[in-house]
Amino acid sequence: EDQVTQSPEALRLQEGESSSLNCSYTVSGLRGLFWYRQDPGKGPEFLFTLYSAGEEKEKERLKATLTKKESFLHITAPKPEDSATYLCAVQAGSSASKIIFGSGTRLSIRP
Amino acid sequence: DTGVSQDPRHKITKRGQNVTFRCDPISEHNRLYWYRQTLGQGPEFLTYFQNEAQLEKSRLLSDRFSAERPKGSFSTLEIQRTEQGDSAMYLCASSQQVLNTEAFFGQGTRLTVV
């Protein structure tokens, strides 16, 4: 069965302290891996799509990378406004229609 | 507004009542998804439409839940005989009819069953 696991569940950082969030996946035939940001009480906001191992995408302080088994979301010099839950999701060959989500990492950045 | 729109944003209902939610996708998107999300969890897949056809339903979806997408435009999700365990955020998303493309989400409908 397709599965997505994110770690850590929660992460507290000081402003400016860089770190990485992990998303490991077990799927049959990855078609795409997606990163979303979700603020409390709101719907997920799309950040990145990665399609193949070795691919990287960047947006402001965020950089997403992909290997054959996992993806990382690197956060460089974060600011308090980066505090949110970051969700990883995959679209797999076994069911090309649905997108499967992990449980997310709650990121908190202290000023 | 060109984003995904959901209505209502919040719904409080008594146990046993029926509720219906509406989702208006991005206009050029053929695919439409419904998800359910509880506190501290990621969105859980419920069902998926391509145009007006409902192509997949989660095995976890009770037969009290039904979704429609007449004419391939907006969609409705109905929950009959609501239970307290149905309390959650119900999210709608849409995407283009291209494989491997990302989905864009609405702001969700928060359902509270009392």
What local confidence, expressed as pLDDT, does residue A98 receive? 74
**Across the interface, do B42 and A43 touch by the CB < 8 Å criterion?**
no
What local confidence, expressed as pLDDT, does residue B24 receive? 97
A–B interface: beta-carbon pairs under 8 A: 66
Half-sphere exposure of B44 (CA within 13 A, CB side): 13
Show residues of chain A in contact with B43, CB under 8 Å: 44, 87, 89, 101
Which has the minimum average pLDDT: A16-30, A45-59, B1-15, B96-110? B96-110
Query: What are A39's two structure tokens?
Result: 């603020």
**Across the interface, do B42 and A87 touch by the CB < 8 Å criterion?**
yes
Show residues of chain B in contact with A34, CB under 8 Å: 102-103
Nearest in space to B76 (alpha carbons), one of B17, B12, B20, B29: B20
User: CA Rg, chain A, in Å?
Assistant: 13
For residues B58 and B9, the model is more confident at B9
Q: Indicate if the pLDDT at residue A95 is higher than 70.
A: no
What local confidence, expressed as pLDDT, does residue B99 receive? 63
Mean pLDDT along residues A45-70? 95
Q: What's the first-to-final CA gap in chain A, in angstroms?
A: 41
Which has the minimum average pLDDT: A27-31, A55-59, B51-55, B80-84? A27-31
CB of A87 within 8 Å of any CB in chain B? yes
Q: Indicate if the pLDDT at residue B1 is higher than 70.
A: no
In one-letter notation, the amino acid at residue A75 is I
Sheet holding B5-7, edge to edge: B5-7, B19-24, B75-79, B65-68
Which residue in the set A44, A97, A101 is minimally distant from B48, CB to CB? Answer: A97
Q: Indicate if the pLDDT at residue A94 is higher than 80.
A: no
